[in-house]
Structure 1
């Protein structure tokens, strides 16, 4: 999905929730849609401010909450860090979090996916959803 299409999907979700789309909020949605990382609310506020949005931090938090409620973004809470956000329309992936830098890396590994399904099946279950977070440090 393009950044423009994603920003429009975010806007549509907010309208569905009865949220008014102001110039500041529209700029914030464009910043969020263009994010290639997993920004937290403060980072989104800073990026929107740098883009000239003039958005308040309270508006950022309210907007993120509404987008999460509408199911178009996912709130990721990694150990020891502020909540981060990513679009909900991306394909399934897992996360590696660098404990020294806080960087979040997405990855997909079919062996891990198969193994998880096999373990669940051996125990008489099927996976409905899952999250895998690896907390890592670069080797010296």
Structure 2
């Protein structure tokens, strides 16, 4: 399990309290699934994992979507949009990385390239711009789908 799992759950509790909302086990379960996931998951995959791991919990697919929307809004998770095919989600605990996304099978490859990072900073500086966050998603066909 993740080292700072409890810290992230405490952060969720703090955010919910600051917003004057009721803390729900459903949000914690959705976040927990993403914290433990090895890849990017769709809402349906999260829902199926909940049914498998928490069979006694009454969580519907609509609740999963609402929890994902909230968790993304408060920046505890991030998503990659696949247009009409929906979104895939991941927790925000990993260090910065970018994505290669196969438009055929949906495979996602995470990568870090220091040259690209330096170039972005150089471009921002040249334009007197301070980058606070960024996301790069490159779309194409993976080796299998080519």
- Taking structure 1 as the reference length, the TM-score comes to 0.79
Aligned to 1:110: 114
**Correspondence 1:2 to 2:6:** no
The CA deviation string for residues 23-77 of structure 1, in whole angstroms up to 9 with x for no partner, is x554433322211211121111111112224420111011112212222112332
Aligned to 2:140: 136
Asked if the contact 2:43/2:88 (under 8 Å) is kept, the reply is yes
Query: How far, CA to CA, are the matches of 2:52 and 2:4 in structure 1?
Result: 18
Query: How far, CA to CA, are the matches of 2:125 and 2:47 in structure 1?
Result: 44
Aligned to 1:32: 34
Asked if the contact 2:40/2:89 (under 8 Å) is kept, the reply is yes
Superposition RMSD in Å: 2.6
What 5-or-longer segments of structure 1 have no aligned partner? none
Query: When the two structures are aligned, how many residues end up with a matched partner?
Result: 139
Asked if the contact 2:107/2:142 (under 8 Å) is kept, the reply is no
